[in-house]
Amino acid sequence: MDNPLTPRSNDLGLTAASKANTPIENQDAKSFFAQLQGFWVTFITMFKKVNTVEYPEVKEPTAERFHGRHQLNRYEDGLEKCIGCELCAWACPADAILVEGESNTEEARFSPGERYGKVYQINYLRCVFCGLCIEACPTRALTMTNEYELADDSRKKLIFEKEDLLAPLKSGMLQPPHPMAEGKTHIDYYRGEIKGGSNG
Amino acid sequence: MVPEQALLETQAPVEMITVVIDGFEVSVPKGTLVIRAAEKLGIQIPRFCDHPLLDPAGACRQCLVDIEINGRAFPKPQASCTIPVENNMIVKTQLTSPVAEKAQAGIMEFLLINHPLDCPVCDKGGECPLQNQAMSNGRPDSRYEGVKRTFEKPVPISTQVLLDRERCVLCARCTRFSEQIAGDPFITLNERGALQQVGIYAEDPFESYYSGNTVQICPVGALTGASYRFRARPFDLVSVDSACEHCASGCAMRTDIRRGKTLRRLAGDDSSVNEEWNCDKGRWAFKYLTSRERVTSPMIRGEDGELHEASWPEAIAFAASGLKGKRAGVLVGGRATVEDAYGYSKFARVALGTNDIDFRSRPHSDEESSFLTSVALGLKTTYKDIDKADKVVLLGFEPEEESPIVFLRIYKQVRKRALAVISDAPFASRGSQKLNAELVTEISTISGLTAKSVILVGERLAEKSGALSSALALAEKSGAKLAWIPRRAGERGALSSGAIATLLPGGRPVSEPSARVDVAAAWSVDSLPSNPGRSTSEILLALSVNNLDAVVIGGVDPLDISNEALTQLLNSFVVSLEISHSSVTAIADVVLPVAAVVEKSGSFQDWQGSVRAFDKAIADSLSRSDVRILSMIADEMGSPINLPTVSATAREIAALGLWDGSVSAFEKAATEKSAIPEGKLNLTSWRLLLDLGTLQDGEANLAGTARKASAHISATRAEKLGVKTGEEISISSDLGAIKLPVTISDMSDQAIWVPRNSIGSQVIANLGFVTGPVTVVKA
Ligand code: SF4
Ligand code: SF4
Ligand code: SF4
Ligand code: SF4
Ligand code: FES
């Protein structure tokens, strides 16, 4: 095939197969020693310490920066960090993220500032765990945990909703919606000047 | 592009000028700006304030280039958006001149010094000229380490437009638009220096019908629309070119859809119609689709008197059995597309065997029927004629309220060359004031028109007996061009589709045997009914006295016609084709859900008669267009109309073509002097652009900018009644009364004007008529 653009489909892999059928050289007695050497490695290995573990009974911790399931973080008082900007969705090469923004109101505030993420979904059938979304996030709302056990028996269950992704409430955190800490603005939040339990 | 447009408009041979830009020669008409000459070569100079339809301002300084004329260079880079080309000019843009490049990067740095890091929460992000040009023409990183200036934000400058002052680049596009295009200078640049900002006059809120355009042309996210704020990013949206369904101006539009929902609509670009503008109604009134309870499945009224969901075959069969062999009429609402109206027209003639069909769901008259039959379809006036007119006469027509883009076109000429405008309105509305219109009370007193004058007749002229006749006489006498501008988007198309008793599709008169034979042959039927049909009010009357048994209604609000219209329907078999539940579906025997504009393809005809076709925006919608449903009913009735799809209908319309034979002569009506009884005032009214119309349902931000309803009376009358501006009066007829605050206008002492369908002033429902004698007292 001179032209590299000619499709190879009609070749049906025959060329490769016939090559595989040609007799292997170096099969004479001279290489018997070499074979023994190979079996020796196998034999010695039986007495070495094994590297595998009996998963799932035994679970090893992952590397610290392992890219696992995402998490949507909160400020110390429980307000969400996500502002629904969709930059993560934009950065995602696998188009796995869907975000819809919404306005915070005085009655229902989910994040500091004007805007929050109302709908947040990550489709783990598509996500390639590249972490580009994490780099895109302007508020550090989105980070990755080390959790890797992401298998399930339906497509639906593998589309994680906002509730599935939000970080759990730690002590001192209050379930949004609730107002910003007394006398504080969104800028204080961005600067990390909010301590937990300000409302509780 | 503007140079070409300029060419078209002036028509005189244009002097061409050749300039060299970045080493390339280009010839452009004299007067072309350097920035546009560069565009012609495909050279993009960064810019913010420059806009082809606004006067040059040179406000942002982003478009700096090096210019040299006759070998003498300007000492500093110049703003290419303010300098017209000249002979022997050599221009070097950022592409060839390091000086220009550095100047542009410097300006960009200045613009960004106080610009907030808002991109993640800014609606403009992803389609922002500032983001894009900061990337292409700015410095790679920031040298600024100070604290940025901040303002409180956002400031609502009206209920629908929000301002983030920090993001503003002071390009003055918004203020120039308001002043030069809309004539509503409610918004200005205040303060100076670093504190300069866009502001509104405290006493005059930004209540312009065109405010949405400022959001669209703002080159940054400083002006945002309240209803789109935070809803999406540009990459989420599927954009579809569409046409506006709100009036007969015929704006080209872009509809942006996300996950099956319309998120915003923008003005499309059509230089022969709406240029690049539209009105706020077209831009923001699209929630009617979701605001009321949608009819989701066909429904049949059962023995128990309640509506029950039914399958399509059941409902179609039920409708067919109720219509077959019965004396039935057809009422077509103003929202029908050309194809749907054609479907109704053919359905009436073929399946129902009647000419009882009318698209006018509003006050109408026989004089108007005659005008529509004999005159309206032959009128060839266009927007271009307004551009060239020496005088514009507005009869029964309030352009700013009833066809906003027509208003913009007239205003453009008023501003450019003080075009004379004459109006028969009872007082100078805001629109008339902006047009500087001369008011006349009698059409017969208008004089001085020439063949270059344009007479624009609105649908309301039908409400005054003899007025259409006088308008025609005026046009004939002076040779002036005449145009009929209905308010609703569907009316012009319905007229040419024959959704009226006297006309078959293509303007063929029913009374003309050869026209009937023509159409019958095209439709493969033996003959078409020849007996004269009824108008809307006659159909309703016939239904109430059992001269008709059944009626097919497509999207009509009975309260647009008359107060008793709904009760007149009660005794008949009613087939309602509707989007949402309404007063008609509440009494209908069969309700068939139809598609809204975004869910179907089709076309409208604007007042000029040009076709405004649009495609289905929500691609996976299952809703059907009216014409498809009518076709199913006709099949079931055994007299098929063979219009299975919108495109098949469009093909049939095209194949049928227009009537080229003679039309009956217009039947003049005498001018009736309705004497106003002693002690009463003569009420007139028209609809405001933003009011209680069904298609504006569910958009509170838009409704917030509607003009407040008030009753206009003269100063003398106010004195007699003992009321001052803002105090309430009560306006009553035999039927009921409305209470409204008073506005004093320069008008006849015997006259009173109120809005027709606004909050607190629903004239048809409350008073029972739209013009006539009323009793007015202090409330
Ligand atoms: S997670 Fe971060 S990047 Fe994604 S929408 Fe929320 S704030 Fe934006
Ligand atoms: S106007 Fe443009 S640059 Fe400024 S914050 Fe908005 S998106 Fe960013
Ligand atoms: S608000 Fe927008 S359009 Fe108006 S001056 Fe500022 S940047 Fe320009
Ligand atoms: S002027 Fe008419 S056609 Fe244009 S946007 Fe407004 S309502 Fe729609
Ligand atoms: S674009 Fe030329 S000064 Fe703004």
User: What's the CATH number of domain B374-485, 1.20.1250.20, 3.40.228.10, 1.10.3720.10, 3.30.930.10?
Assistant: 3.40.228.10
Of A90, A103, A115, the CB nearest to B233: A90
Report H helices in B590-709: 626-637, 646-656, 700-703
- Dist. CA B26–CA B24, nearest whole Å: 7
CB B459 within 8 A of CB B362: yes
pTM for the complete prediction?
A: 0.91
Reported confidence tier of residue A18, pLDDT bands at 50, 70, 90: low
Domain B14-108 - what CATH class? alpha beta
Q: Span B716-728, mean pLDDT?
A: 95
Strands B681-686 and B751-755: parallel
Q: What is the mean pLDDT of residues B339-356?
A: 97
User: CB contact, 8 Å: B719 with chain A?
Assistant: no
Give A6's pLDDT tier (boundaries 50, 70, 90): low
- Per-residue pLDDT band for A101 (boundaries 50, 70, 90) equals very high
**What letter does residue B148 receive in the DSSP assignment?**
P
> What pLDDT band is residue B346 in, cutting at 50, 70 and 90?
very high
Q: pLDDT tens for residues B45-76?
A: 999 999 999 999 999 999 999 999 998 999 99
Mean pLDDT, residues A150-170 taken together: 96
The ranges assigned to domains in chain B are 14-108, 144-288, 313-361+489-538+545-654, 374-485, 678-776
Q: Is residue B93 a contact partner of residue B100, using CB atoms and an 8 Å limit?
A: yes
Question: What burial class does residue B300 get, using C-beta atoms within 10 Å of its C-beta: 0-12 exposed, 13-18 middle, 19+ buried?
Answer: buried
ipTM score assigned to the predicted complex:
0.84
Could you tell me which residue, B432 or B293, shows the higher pLDDT?
Answer: B432
Asked whether residue A3 carries a pLDDT value surpassing 80, the answer given is no
User: For B29-35, what is the mean pLDDT?
Assistant: 96
List domains and CATH numbers for chain A. 67-189 (3.30.70.3270)
Which letter, b or e, does each residue of B495-512 get, where b requires 16 or more Cβ atoms within 10 Å of its Cβ? bbbbbbbbbbbbbbbbeb
Predicted local confidence at residue B2, as pLDDT: 43
Confidence of residue B658 (pLDDT cuts 50, 70, 90): very high
Q: Note the pLDDT of residue A38.
A: 84
Distances (CA, A) of B661 to B380, B497, B506, B518: 17, 16, 11, 11
Residue A199: pLDDT band by 50, 70, 90 thresholds? Answer: very low
pLDDT band at B203 (very low <50, low <70, confident <90, very high): low
Q: What is the mean pLDDT of residues B485-498?
A: 96
Mean pLDDT of B473-501: 96
Q: Was domain B313-361+489-538+545-654 assigned CATH 3.40.50.740? A: yes
Ligand 1, from A71, A72, A75, A83: best to mutate by most atoms within 8 Å of Cβ? A83
Place of tokens 């001369």: B438
Mean pLDDT of B444-464: 95
Q: What average pLDDT does range B596-601 have in this prediction?
A: 94
Does A126 have pLDDT greater than 90? Answer: yes
pLDDT tier, B739 (very low <50, low <70, confident <90, very high otherwise)? very high
CB B602, CB B340: distance < 8 Å: yes
pLDDT at residue B4, rounded to an integer: 45
At residue B189, the pLDDT reads: 79
pLDDT band at A5 (very low <50, low <70, confident <90, very high): low
pLDDT tens, position by position, B395-436: 999 999 999 999 999 999 999 999 999 999 999 999 999 999
Q: Please compute, for residue B652, the number of CA atoms within 13 A of its CA located in the half-sphere on the CB side.
A: 26
Contact A114 B154 (CB under 8 A): yes
CATH number at B144-288: 3.30.70.20
- Identify the band that residue B200 occupies on the pLDDT scale cut at 50, 70 and 90: confident
pLDDT for A12 equals: 56
B147 contacts chain A (CB < 8 A): no
Burial of B380 per CB tally in 10 Å (0-12, 13-18, 19+): exposed
Average pLDDT over residues A23-37: 69
| pLDDT reported for residue A30 | 60
- Grouping H, G, I as helix, E, B as strand and the rest as coil, residue A128 is coil
Q: Tell me whether residues B236 and A86 touch, CB distance under 8 A.
A: yes
Q: What CATH number labels B678-776? A: 2.40.40.20
Q: What percent of chain B stands above pLDDT 70?
A: 97
Q: Answer yes or no: do A101 and B126 touch at CB < 8 A.
A: no
User: CB–CB of B553/B588 below 8 Å?
Assistant: yes
B777 interfacial to chain A (CB closer than 8 Å)? no
- Distance in Å, CA B164 to ligand 3 centroid: 10
